[in-house]
Amino acid sequence: MALVGKQERGEEWRIVEPLCAVFRRRLRDEGLKYTPERARILDAIAAMPGLFEAERVIERLAESGGSGRRVSKATVYRTMRLLQDAGIIQRVPLDQDQAVYQLVYGGESSDYLIRLDTREVVPIDVPELDAIRERLCKERGLEARGHRFQVYAIGLNAR
């Protein structure tokens, strides 16, 4: 089990089911197997900080070498789609040309300011959003698992 939380803000840690268990269950439900290649892809993604592209996952797999097995580009893309369907990663819509993802399961909330004119992505920390998320869920008898807040902006001189 993994521990996840924001201790610096005095919040409690919570126990989260391991990513591989969540992924294995999803694959089993789809009639698919948890292969060594899929495990390597999941490990590579889990080790990536912030936003990432499929090409970066492919590069990281090539750099690590692993068990000597090469992971094809097609396997990476198919596995990323399965991870997305399982709720482990999600696509961050920067624009139509660039598919960027983030790990969402068991991680801290990720909030970004996205510059559409420069394609710059700036992580932002808005603690008030966590309180709003918790209040909204509590009012509805739900337990929050995270959130995504993205501000899309352009420079004032970029019009």
Which residues form the domain of 12?
Answer: 1-107
Say whether both 90 and 45 belong to one domain. yes
Nearest alpha-carbon partner for 105 in 12, 25, 34: 25
DSSP characters over 29-79: HTT----HHHHHHHHHHHT--SEE-HHHHHHHHHHH-TTS----HHHHHHH
pLDDT tens digits for range 109-146:
678 888 878 878 888 888 888 889 899 999 999 987 77
Question: What is the number of other CB atoms lying within 10 angstroms of the CB of residue 22?
Answer: 18
pLDDT tens digits for range 14-25:
555 687 888 999
pLDDT of residue 5: 45
Say whether both 101 and 127 belong to one domain. no
pTM, two decimals, is 0.67
Say whether both 97 and 129 belong to one domain. no
pLDDT tens digits for range 44-78:
998 888 789 999 999 999 887 665 578 899 999 99
Does the pLDDT of residue 80 top 90, yes or no?
A: yes
